[in-house]
Structure 1
């Protein structure tokens, strides 16, 4: 299409530029206390002596004048951190991660090959970002990495196929990713990382079930296909079960999808 924007034509800010923006916001918020103290000191210096006692009793209340600014700056920091992590995974690493991981099957394209480019991106982040923001930006990269992994194993397209036996390999890969972000205790706290990977661990567990088990579970909640909650024993919503079945190559999954949901074999 003539008006279609090609990937190389999209102007995306570089990671160092985003880190500088974050550092600037952090500097601004770190200076608010000093600004409040300065304003208060100058105000008190101009007050008559007899008012000082009453004015000092109000000092703590007066020093919340920039709380709204702090809240807004922190919100901006969170948004830029989230965008930076998403940009790295879904833009900078889109070819090795989003487009090619586990293609055509898990055993032929493991996640371990992504650790080196991920490490390069992480070093670039940590080389620019101020220390107090390090965990926040790295956590955003972890979240984006897990989002990317879910994208691959649930919406990987017709060129990716998953088998129940792949669940063990997927679990191993998730452990590799988890340990990368923990970095032997030098990275994010283990508890934080474990909490984030829990949602992916559940999906990987679903991949371990045979197609018959998945279709049986989906039948019990087939009336809730358009809703987020499922009523099956596997504890999965119907959309997730559908996506997993769409990546199966066996005839049972294909026939079930075609008959019950009018989904052809090549669709995901």
Structure 2
């Protein structure tokens, strides 16, 4: 798959070269074939655009597969299951490191940062899935939030060794300036941080936010996804209440939405966009 990406990038480079050569030929001599030259440029642009789009699609697939398939058992189905303290992020960091090494060993350097960014974005999507859609085996206390914030920071800057960077100590995704820029990391992790901040709030405060958000909700709302989710939308606030280990939240959900209290662990079901 990564060889395909490299081939497409090589094709884009060749198209740029041919386009440049054609442009030089067109400016060096005036002829009635200007229309044909314009058509050739259009073909070059279309092929280049297609190659870039296909490369983006493949990179998105690589990042999504790495998290939602290769690491699904450890990260999605095990992180914070039963309790936060017994299933912290540090258990899974070596697996993420291994996946990054495998991916970066296969791709060309020019694609490294782009595919690592997509892996990090998928990690954030998976982390948010655990926080909001992790099922009845995940219930969070206010005292758990600091541990989860530490885990989020650990995912961003955990000290490990990445073979593809050839240094002794690097950060997991920031990589001491050789990886993703810190501002990019902060931007991609912003929603997860905001969701964790919601868990610190009292249940009554979240309920008030939910009721206010419900008043402004359209009659046919689009289902929330990791890409479209807003920290103050109805879907997010409701899921925070569902995963908040709080008697007030449980009572509200039982009365308002007729949701039963969870009784034991049930099998987790994954929903994909």
TM-score range, shorter chain: 0.7 to 0.9
For residues 11-38 of structure 1, what are the alpha-carbon distances to aligned partners after superposition, in whole Å with 9 as ceiling and x for unaligned?
A: xxxxxxx212211221221221234456
CA distance in 2, matches of 1:68, 1:181: 34
- Find out whether 1:120 has 2:98 as its counterpart: yes
Q: Give secondary structure in 2 for the equivalent of 1:106.
A: coil
Whether the 8 Å contact between 2:199 and 2:244 is mirrored in structure 1 is no
Single out whichever of 140-149 and 248-257 deviates more from structure 2. Answer: 248-257
1:36–1:63 Cα contact (<8 Å) kept = yes
Are 2:123 and 1:140 aligned?
no
SS at match of 2:2: helix
Q: Whole-Å Cα distance in 2 between the matches of residues 125 and 221 of structure 1?
A: 41
CA–CA distance in 2 between the matches of 1:190 and 1:143?
14
1:79-228 matches, within 5 Å, as 79-179=57-157, 180-224=172-216, 227=221
Q: Tell me whether 1:249 sits opposite 2:245 in the alignment.
A: yes
**Following the alignment from structure 1 to structure 2, what is the Cα–Cα distance between the partners of residues 185 and 40?**
38
- Which among 77, 80, 94 is matched to residue 55 of structure 2? 77
Structure 2 residue 14 is the aligned partner of structure 1 residue 31:
yes
Unaligned ranges ≥5, structure 2: 158-171, 224-229, 269-273
CA drift at 1:176: 1.1
> What is the DSSP-based 3-state SS (H/G/I as helix, E as strand, rest coil) of the residue aligned with 2:85?
helix
> How far, CA to CA, are the matches of 1:161 and 1:247 in structure 2?
5
Where does structure 1 lack aligned partners over 5 or more consecutive residues?
A: 1-17, 45-50
- Residues 175-201 of structure 1 show CA distances to partners (whole Å, capped at 9, x for unaligned) of 111122102222111111111111111
Match of 1:236 in 2: 232
How far has the Cα of 1:68 moved from its partner? 1.1
Q: TM-score, normalised by structure 2?
A: 0.78
Q: Secondary structure at the match of 1:191?
A: helix
Root-mean-square deviation (CA, aligned residues, Å) is 3.0
Partner-residue secondary structure (3-state), 2:261:
coil
CA change 1:90–1:52 in 2 (3 A) is closer
Q: As a proportion of its length, which structure holds more helix?
A: 1
